[in-house]
């Protein structure tokens, strides 16, 4: 992790004042094989940053949006935020004896994941409400920060933040060096991501779009606090992604990166705009170095969006063939 972060910082420093013009492509994206995917990315970036090109895009309009789970970091065997919710549930259970008597908590306490799955969307919603609400945003920020800096992936035993994709870190830095503003647009909770994405991806909190609950201002001891209410405000997934983009960014991106059917509408919305547009899907094809999954997967299902790639002209990255390395060294 450390050496890749240093490389990232170096690229950022080089790019800090390069808000126009474009980087040399020679040493760009070192973890990408020299295949069609890399060529398509570089060709697009050179086209929109070349002042002489008819496809030139001014810096303020260079907005690039990235899904998080499965696009910037691993989402198998379960969404990281789900692992967080389960750990949080266990930590809170002793204070909630009433959970023993009602679903989906009963199943979860018994470690019965099939029973939990049978409670469906309502069960997931109840788990999210029980673990993500009823506290202030600053309290939740602290809980999320504590968890993400210590929790380990069940198989690799690495920190989750070490299971980000090195080629995507390079891509984020490459785009920023070419005047792009990079945003996360994730189905994950916005308050869960904001505490760590700046350190890990170089993306500041104000450039994170995610699912969210309602907030309410209260005065406590003469001081204002923002309390997380158990009311869903936006599910930033599928058709919710263009909504989240419009609410928080207010203009249509020119590049969009995803990996699942939850990103279909984000890629459609991005690439349906006028002028040069770029859509890309990360296809999890590497069972040896990561996990191979697509159409039948419970997590990160890629089916309709994969079929849409060809008619829409989106680039499909094969992790096996296009990436030299998957994770930071």
Angle at 175 between CA 173 and CA 179, to 5 degrees: 110
Distance (Å, rounded) from C-alpha 269 to C-alpha 163? 29
Among 1, 215, 232, 299, binds its own copies (CB under 8 A): 215
Phi, psi of 152 (to 5 degrees): -115, 150
DSSP at 63: E
Cβ neighbourhood burial of 286 (10 Å; 0-12, 13-18, 19+): middle
For its own copies, give the closer residue by CB, 32 or 269: 269
Is the distance from CB of 100 to CB of 109 less than 8 angstroms?
yes
Question: What minimum distance in Å lies between the beta carbon of 216 and its own copies?
Answer: 7
Q: Which stretch binds its own copies (CB under 8 A): 37-45, 125-133, 214-222, 298-306?
A: 214-222
Among 51, 121, 157, 217, binds its own copies (CB under 8 A): 217
Q: Which stretch binds its own copies (CB under 8 A): 27-35, 104-112, 263-271, 299-307?
A: 263-271
Does position 221 interact with its own copies (CB under 8 A)? The reply is: no
Does position 115 interact with its own copies (CB under 8 A)? The reply is: no
For its own copies, give the closer residue by CB, 111 or 221: 221
For its own copies, the binding residues in 63-102 under the rule CB under 8 A are 63
Q: Which stretch binds its own copies (CB under 8 A): 7-15, 41-49, 91-99, 264-272?
A: 264-272
Q: Which two tokens stand for residue 264?
A: 């279909």
Q: Which residues contact 130 (CB under 8 A, 6 or more apart)?
A: 89, 92, 96, 99, 105
Q: Which two tokens stand for residue 145?
A: 């920060």
Q: Which residues contact 125 (CB under 8 A, 6 or more apart)?
A: 232
Helices (H), the chain: 2-15, 36-49, 80-92, 105-109, 113-118, 120-132, 137-148, 166-177, 190-201, 240-248, 264-271, 304-312, 319-322
Q: How many residues bind its own copies (CB under 8 A)?
A: 38
For its own copies, the binding residues in 165-184 under the rule CB under 8 A are 181
Among 155, 251, 304, 324, binds its own copies (CB under 8 A): 251
Question: What minimum distance in Å lies between the beta carbon of 275 and its own copies?
Answer: 14
For its own copies, give the closer residue by CB, 209 or 302: 209
Question: Is residue 208 classed as helix, strand or coil in its secondary structure?
Answer: strand
Does position 51 interact with its own copies (CB under 8 A)? The reply is: no
Question: What minimum distance in Å lies between the beta carbon of 178 and its own copies?
Answer: 16
- Tokens 């060709």 belong to 43
Q: Phi-psi category of 65—alpha, beta or left, where left has phi over 0 and alpha has psi -120 to 50?
A: beta
Residue (of 6, 41, 11) closest to 323 by Cα position = 41
Among 51, 157, 223, 310, binds its own copies (CB under 8 A): 223
Does position 205 interact with its own copies (CB under 8 A)? The reply is: yes
Strand partners, 127: none
Q: Which stretch binds its own copies (CB under 8 A): 41-49, 86-94, 152-160, 200-208?
A: 200-208
Does position 129 interact with its own copies (CB under 8 A)? The reply is: no
Does position 192 interact with its own copies (CB under 8 A)? The reply is: no
Residues that bind its own copies (CB under 8 A): 16-17, 19, 60, 63, 137, 181, 190-191, 194, 198, 204-208, 212, 215-217, 223-224, 226, 233, 239-240, 242-243, 246-251, 265, 268-269, 272
């Amino acid at each position: 992790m450390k050496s890749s972060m240093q490389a990232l910082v170096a690229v950022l420093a080089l790019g800090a004042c390069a808000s126009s013009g474009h980087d040399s492509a020679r040493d760009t994206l070192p973890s990408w094989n020299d295949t069609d995917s890399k060529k398509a990315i570089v060709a697009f970036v050179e086209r929109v940053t070349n002042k002489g090109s008819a496809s030139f895009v001014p810096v303020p309009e260079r907005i690039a949006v990235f899904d998080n789970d499965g696009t910037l970091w691993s989402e198998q065997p379960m969404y990281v935020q789900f692992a967080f919710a389960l750990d949080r549930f266990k930590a809170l259970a002793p204070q909630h004896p009433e959970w023993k008597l009602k679903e989906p908590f009963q199943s979860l306490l018994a470690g019965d994941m099939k029973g939990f799955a049978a409670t469906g969307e309502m069960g997931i919603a109840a788990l999210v409400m029980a673990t993500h609400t009823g506290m202030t945003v600053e309290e939740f920020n602290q809980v999320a920060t504590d968890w993400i800096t210590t929790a380990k992936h069940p198989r690799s035993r690495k920190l989750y933040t070490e299971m980000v994709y090195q080629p995507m870190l390079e891509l984020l830095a490459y785009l920023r060096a070419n005047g792009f503003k990079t945003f996360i647009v994730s189905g994950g909770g916005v308050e869960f991501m904001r505490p760590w994405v700046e350190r890990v991806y170089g993306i500041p909190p104000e450039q994170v779009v995610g699912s969210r609950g309602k907030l309410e201002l209260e005065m406590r001891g003469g001081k204002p606090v923002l309390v997380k209410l158990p009311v869903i405000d936006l599910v930033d997934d599928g058709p919710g992604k263009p909504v989240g983009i419009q609410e928080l960014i207010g203009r249509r991106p020119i590049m969009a990166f995803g990996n699942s059917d939850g990103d279909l509408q984000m890629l459609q919305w991005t690439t349906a705009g006028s002028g040069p547009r770029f859509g890309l899907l990360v296809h999890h094809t590497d069972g040896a170095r990561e996990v191979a999954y697509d159409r039948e997967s419970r997590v990160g299902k890629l089916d309709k969006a994969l079929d849409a790639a060809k008619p829409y002209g989106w680039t499909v990255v094969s992790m096996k063939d296009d990436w030299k390395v998957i994770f930071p060294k």
